[in-house]
Amino acid sequence: MASKHTIFIVDDEKNILNALTRTLQSEEREIVTAENSREALEKLKSMGGADVVISDNRLPDFSGIDFLIKVRQLYPATIRILITGYPDLESTIDSINKGQVYRFITKPWDNEEVKIIVKQALDFYDVLRDNRSLLKIARQQADLLKTVKEKYPDISGAEFDKSSVYIIEEKVISESLSDFMTKYYREEHKNK
C-alpha cells in the first residue's frame, strides 16, 4: 500500500482549520495544521515537507502569497493552493508568478469543490513524483550506457540502437518499473 498523502493547512482561524480538516480527512491522508506561517515553516521542516500546502492569503505574520513563495523555495515539489476571501486581479497574478500557486479557493467555498481541487492536486503531485522517478531511471541508464561504451569502445552506438538487448542493473530497473506498472495498471499487471 502506498504511503499517506500529507496535506498541510495554514489559517489563523481555528474554525477554518477544523472545517477544512473535516472536509479533507480520509484514511489515505494525514492532515497537519498551523495558525501562522512561522509555526507552519517549523512544522514543515520537522516533517521534511508536505505533498500539498493550503494557505489562507491573510495570515497574521505575513501574506499567504509570501508564505507560499517560501514553501516553493524550500519544497519545490509541494503543490500550493491559496485560499482567499478577497480575490483581486493583482494578488492573483502575484500568486501565479511568484508562488506558482496551483489553484485558488475563494471563501466561502463549496466542500465538494474543495475535495475535487485537492484530489486533483494530489493526483498531479503523484504524476510529478512518478515522472521524477522515471527520469532518474533514464539518467541512470544513460550514465551506465556511457560507462559501458567507455569501458568497451569496440561496441558502437549503432549496435546499441539496433539490438536493444543490453540489460543494465536489471533488478533495480525491474523493481522500479514493476512499482510503476502496479500503481497505474494494477489489473493488467496482476494478470501477467
Q: Considering the domain delimited by 5-125, tell me its CATH architecture.
A: 3-Layer(aba) Sandwich (3.40)
- pLDDT value at residue 141: 81
Residues 125-153 as b/e (b if ≥16 CB within 10 A, e otherwise) read beeeeeeeeeeebeeeeeeeeeeeeeeee
User: What is the three-class DSSP state of 164?
Assistant: coil
- pLDDT value at residue 3: 77
Compute the average pLDDT of residues 151-174.
55
Confidence band, pLDDT 50/70/90 cuts, at residue 165: low
Show me where the domains of the chain are located: 5-125, 129-190
In Å, what is the CA distance from 13 to each residue of 68, 86, 180? 18, 16, 40
Top pLDDT among 47 and 89 is at 47
Compute the average pLDDT of residues 87-101.
69
pTM: 0.71
- pLDDT value at residue 171: 57
CB-based contacts of 66, cutoff 8 Å, min separation 6? 37
